[in-house]
Each structure stands twice: as structure tokens, then as C-alpha cells.
């Protein structure tokens, strides 16, 4: 039976990303976010929702640039740390020993330990309520060479990503289907 439950964004599982940014002061910061999603395929764009009280908010406003870094299970503790501590008080690169790695087209550094890094330029922003949505165009994608297959595509079996599942971090289990595997006309018995 259906019941009405607490009003919330009950969307899950979400991605969890580490966004690196840098203000005019030149000191880079990291903010972990789950309010993130792909919003457009061409040009590729991602949206990230950030509370204006967060330290990274001003940094992104100042430069109009950020990097979306995709973490893996091996750094889940660093992921959590960068989402629960403020860059006003802590130098997160120093504390976590994560490595800033030079970007090519934007000022914020990549996080070297994340196997995928997307350099983004801010294209739009909308204040929605508690959060402002920043929409960034992905202008360059970096990947660790050892997660690519022979065609240069990311190989899903060579990376252990993290899903954010209602305040919990989960790894993935197994593949249960591939886009397009259902056939028309639909036969529910097969």
C-alpha cells in the first residue's frame, strides 16, 4: 500500500563527486556533493547544487570554473571528509593528502586520485531556495590511462565507483542490464 511520507528529495542512488575549485586567493578547495547530475548531452553539461553558505560557493562564483572529480571506493573516507568539513578552517588537500594535479583549460586543479576529472566552465546559475544550481559545461575530460579500454573508452569493470544512497555510501554490485536490452513488442515473460 502507498503512504505519503516525509517531504524530501528522495532521489537515490545519486552520484557523489568531489568538486575542486579555486578562488581569487589562489588556494584550491574540495567540496563533496551528491546534488549533482547530467543536465545536457550536447554540449555536455553538469548541474551542481550548492548552499550559498558553503565556502566553495564563493570560490566558484569568483572564477566561474570548477572540476568534477569522480571518486572511487578506495577514497570513500576522503570523500566523506571533504563533504563534512569546511575549507574555511581546513586545507583539504593537505589534510587528506589528495594530490592537486594541473588542469589544462581551467584554474582549479584536478584531484589526481580520482580516475575521471571533468573540467567545467560555468554557463548558468539559478538560486532555487536553500541551494543555487550551477550549470557547468564540460570542456575537457581526463581519465586515468589504466581504466580505458583499447578504444579509449572508460571500462566499467576497471573502476569501483561510489553511489550515495540516502546518507550512505555504497559500492555497485553487478550489471543487470545494458541500455536497449529490452525488445519491442514487449514480452514480460521473456
**H-helix or E-strand spanning residue 76:** helix 76-84
Q: Is 43 in the site for a copy of itself (CB under 8 A)?
A: yes
Contacts of 70 (CB under 8 A, 6+ apart): 15, 17, 18, 114, 115, 116, 117, 161
Which of the residues 108 through 127 are near a copy of itself (CB under 8 A)?
A: 110, 112, 116-118, 123-124, 126
Q: What are phi and psi of 83, to 5 degrees?
A: -100, -10
Smallest gap from residue 43 Cβ to a copy of itself (A): 5
Residue 135 interacts with a copy of itself (CB under 8 A): yes or no: yes
Continuous segment of H or E residues that includes residue 44: none
Which member of 19, 30, 34, 106 binds a copy of itself (CB under 8 A)? Answer: 34
Contacts of 172 (CB under 8 A, 6+ apart): 160, 161, 163
Residue 129 sits in the site that holds a copy of itself (CB under 8 A): yes
- Given the rule CB under 8 A, which of 18-26, 54-62, 81-89 is the region that contacts a copy of itself? 81-89
Determine the interface stretch with a copy of itself among 22-30, 40-48, 53-61 (rule: CB under 8 A).
40-48
Amino acid at each position: 500500500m502507498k503512504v505519503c511520507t516525509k517531504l524530501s528529495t528522495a532521489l537515490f542512488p545519486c552520484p557523489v563527486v568531489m568538486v575542486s575549485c579555486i578562488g581569487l586567493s589562489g588556494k584550491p578547495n574540495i567540496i563533496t556533493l551528491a546534488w549533482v547530475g547530467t543536465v545536457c548531452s550536447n554540449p555536455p553539461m553538469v548541474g551542481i547544487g550548492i548552499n550559498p553558505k558553503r565556502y566553495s560557493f564563493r570560490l566558484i562564483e569568483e572564477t566561474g570554473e570548477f572540476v568534477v572529480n569522480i571518486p572511487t571506493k578506495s577514497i570513500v573516507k576522503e570523500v566523506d571528509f571533504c563533504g563534512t568539513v569546511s575549507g574555511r578552517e581546513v586545507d583539504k588537500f593537505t589534510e587528506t593528502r589528495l594530490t592537486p594535479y594541473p588542469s589544462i583549460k581551467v584554474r582549479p586543479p584536478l584531484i589526481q586520485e580520482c580516475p575521471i576529472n571533468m573540467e567545467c566552465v560555468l554557463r548558468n546559475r539559478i538560486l532555487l531556495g536553500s541551494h543555487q544550481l550551477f550549470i557547468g559545461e564540460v570542456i575537457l575530460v581526463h581519465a586515468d590511462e589504466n581504466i580505458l579500454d583499447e578504444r579509449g573508452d572508460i571500462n566499467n569493470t576497471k573502476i569501483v565507483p561510489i553511489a550515495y544512497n540516502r546518507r550512505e555510501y555504497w559500492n555497485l554490485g553487478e550489471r543487470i542490464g545494458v541500455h536497449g536490452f529490452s525488445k519491442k513488442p514487449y514480452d514480460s515473460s521473456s
